[in-house]
Amino acid sequence: MKYLPLNPEIFVQNRNRFIQKMEKNSIAIFNSNDELPTNGDQLHRFKQNSDLYWLTGIEQEDTMLILYPGNPDPKYREVLVLVRPNELKEKWDGHRLRANEGTSISGIKTVIWLDTVDATLQPWIHTADTIYLNTNENDRKSNNVQVRDYRYATLMQQRFPLHNYRRSAKILKELRAIKTALEVEVMQKAIDITDITFRRLMQVIKPGIMEYEIEAEIYHSFLSQRATGPGYSSIIASGDRARTLHYIDNNQECKDGELILMDFGAEYGGYNADLSRTVPVSGKFSRRQKTVYNACLHLHHYAASILKPGISIVDYTEKVGDEATVIFQKIGLLKKSDIKNEDPDNRAYRKYLYHGISHHLGIDVHDLGTRTEPIKAGMVFTVEPGIYIEEEKMGVRIENNFWITRNGNKDLMKNIPITVEEIEAYMKK
């Protein structure tokens, strides 16, 4: 890992929160992700199972976690399973964690090796009544490939068919949505790295620069600050390309007179930032660009003002849509007749704002959490309204990250330049 060691108390707290939700005399088992092949003898860069990481902080492949709070032997109530270090493999692929290193990262005192886990686990299974198994139940995820979690669940149900089985995912969806103060500290570090990077970009953007050159600056800045890298594929979209929400080609020239929409965020310590800013390639907004940008900024501030405990994302999005309808009429995008004749299921403002306003943020960029239940204190959301105008070949999006508090929220990106005046002044330096 490139980042500095995290406080293991993050993962101690997370495990305790999960254990408190477990049924009496139950055992929970978590597996790491598969190592995925590309072509030939190559593998994709390994990405740890988010749930396992949330509970342990371990990024290494072939890792397991066993939680059995009712184990008669207190030593084995929390067990970290690591792959046994192999001298030959380490010559090819590098260092593998020793037991004391696993303990230092996770706070788990008992560490066993993967090649002993079956024999060790079996008697514990026999004394437990219920087994918690994990599955990827992110609402945005398609599970077309049978990954390790699902293969392991099938294997366990074949070996132990008379046990009660429970889904860990149902608990984790609730718990992971609520961030502890220690988790937010790590997220703030990712955000601070992203802040420094954005300021750096405003110094290099000028007519003629290529989108990929800006992307290269992002990588350089992130890695030089100990980030793992980007939390997701950076979007660097100049001109009309900004209307494509997930534009990642990043291979065109940024031209004088265009706006450039940048959506990027650092990953640090397994947690992510998610920033969007739209700036003028020339360093100065035209009158019309300023009007559209300030309209988007108004929507951003309005959305932030109502994002608080008690409201659901569905209701929140509807209210932002109401405000967008008013604003879009003011800046000449909608007519009264458009609003009067709109389809309730496809409102008029959706022609210019065709994505959601907020999503959960954390270990995953689109993190676990509910869309229909009331928002709770401790959740972290993006706020990212946009305005996309085909006729004017223009796209604007403004995005900050907010931590929900008991009475409102805290803008974790409050120090990042956001107004027209701040951006123009910084680009002029």
pLDDT tens digits, one per residue of 190-218: 999 999 999 999 999 999 999 999 999 99
Inter-residue contact 425 to 204 (CB < 8 Å): no
CA 161 to chain centre: 36
Residue 153's pLDDT band, with cuts at 50, 70 and 90, is: very high
* pTM, to two decimals: 0.96
pLDDT of residue 261: 98
Degrees to nearest 5, angle at CA 233 with 32 and 235? 160
The residue-averaged pLDDT of 391-404 equals 98
Phi, psi of 122 (to 5 degrees): -55, -50
Q: What pLDDT, on the 0 to 100 scale, is given for residue 222?
A: 98
Per-residue pLDDT tens over the stretch 278-306: 999 999 999 999 999 999 999 999 999 99
Query: Which CATH superfamily hosts domain 9-175?
Result: Creatinase/prolidase N-terminal domain (3.40.350.10)
pLDDT of 89 reads: 87
Q: Reduce the DSSP state of residue 252 to 3 states and report it.
A: coil
Average pLDDT score over residue span 81-87: 95
Residues in the chain: 429
- Rounded mean pLDDT, 145-152: 90
Q: 271-272 and 386-389: which strand pairing? A: unpaired
- Fold match between domain 9-175 and domain 181-428: no
For residue 44, what is the enclosing H or E element? Answer: none
Q: What average pLDDT does this structure show over 24-45? A: 93
> What residue segments make up the domains of the chain, in order of their start?
9-175, 181-428
**Res. 372: pLDDT tops 80:** yes
409-426: pLDDT as tens digits: 999 999 999 999 999 999
CATH code assigned to 181-428: 3.90.230.10
